[in-house]
Amino acid sequence: MSAAGVVKAITPPNIRARKGSTPLVCLTAYTTPVARLVDGHCDIVLVGDSVGMVLHGLPSTLSVTLDMMIMHAKAVRRGMERALLVVDMPFGSYEESLEQAFRNSARLMAETGCAAVKLEGGATIAETIRFLTARGIPVMAHVGLTPQAVNVFGGYRVQGRGEDAERIWRDALAVSEAGAFSVVLEKVPEPLARRITEKIPIPTIGIGASAACDGQILVVDDMLGLFGDFRPKFVKRYVELGEAASAAIEAYACDVKERRFPAAEHVFGDEPKAIKGREAT
């Protein structure tokens, strides 16, 4: 909070400076109400392309478009004051050329007010990260399991076990050297996450990558129990909102069928009546 009482938003350099100190708290959000819930508790709010699977029922993130990301990012921006807003670049929006990556990232920032973008990929995307950061676009990188490459991996398996650890290590080093201000490590074994976190100068944000990381991120719908029966090992469910919502909807259906809802207090009469705490209705 500034002297004038204005909340100062967290910036990419603030995140970068948190390396090795208090763990960074990060969650996804795709809507204004959820953004309002998470903003005060998080350092980073990510509009992830997971929105395609979580809210749109798509089978993977591959068909998420830039327009979808812009629409959700605008909604999230309206609910935020404090956390750093980062938005995922969707599959196909940055891989073709440096110019394409810049054009689409700049559009995302200009239209949504986000302060940074996230790109998936390691060494192969390092040149793009260097190009964007040199032109005013802060980049959060994402290595390990990169869901946009699900067809190359043949599934959503843990990455970097055994000899494969070297590949992920080189990816993390490459994005760090290219100028990313932080890097998501997804689904990698704890010893590798620890090694990367100890050796690179930017914060690592883990998802399925252990508490050795400099911060943690989860898909908010997963930790609230809102995304069906999806229960991967790395997610802790803090509440079962899906079950609570299902019970509430069942109770409503029963009430409607039994004519218990609407009850007298939900019904308008001929005369306006003042109800405590509300205007006359």
Burial-class residue 41 by CB neighbours within 10 Å (0-12, 13-18, 19+). exposed
Comparison of 152 and 274: residue with beta carbon closer to ligand KIV: 152
Interaction of residue 208 with ligand KIV, rule CB under 6 A: no
In this complex, which beta carbon is closest to ligand KIV, that of residue 89 or of residue 174? 89
Q: Which of residues 141-160 bind ligand KIV (CB under 6 A)?
A: 142
* Count of Cβ atoms closer than 10 Å to residue 113 Cβ: 16
- Amino acid at site 217: I
Whether the CB-CB separation of 6 and 197 falls below 8 Å is answered with: no
Neighbours of 203 (CB within 10 A): 27
Which is catalytic among the residues 177, 186, 243, 258?
186
Answer yes or no: is 88 a known binding residue.
yes
CA dist 281 and 278 (Å) reads 8
Residue 227 CB, nearest approach to ligand KIV (Å): 11
**What are the Cα distances from residue 243, in Å, to 31, 131, 261?**
21, 46, 22
Q: Using CB under 6 A, count the residues that bind ligand KIV.
A: 11
Instruction: Please say whether the beta carbons of 240 and 227 come within 8 A.
Output: no
Backbone φ, ψ for residue 87 (5° rounding): -125, 135
50 binds ligand KIV (CB under 6 A): yes
Q: Kindly state the tokens that stand for 178.
A: 């290219």
**Span near ligand KIV by CB under 6 A; candidates 47-55, 151-159, 160-168, 231-239:** 47-55
- Residue nearest ligand KIV by beta-carbon distance: 48
DSSP at 118: E
> Quick one: which of 39, 43, 88, 171 contacts ligand KIV (CB under 6 A)?
88
* Contact flag: residue 213 with ligand KIV (CB under 6 A): no
Q: Are strands 139-144 and 215-218 parallel, antiparallel or unpaired?
A: unpaired
Calculate the CA dihedral of residues 24, 29, 33, 39 and round it to 10 degrees: 20
Q: Could you tell me which stretch among 35-43, 44-52, 105-113, 257-265 binds ligand KIV (CB under 6 A)?
A: 44-52
Residues 107-146 within binding reach of ligand KIV (CB under 6 A): 142
Contact between 217 and ligand KIV per CB under 6 A: yes
93 forms part of the interface with ligand KIV (CB under 6 A)? no
Q: Which residues in 219-238 contact ligand KIV (CB under 6 A)?
A: 219
Which are the catalytic amino acids? 186
Q: Binding residues for ligand KIV, per CB under 6 A? A: 28, 46, 48-50, 88, 142, 184, 207, 217, 219
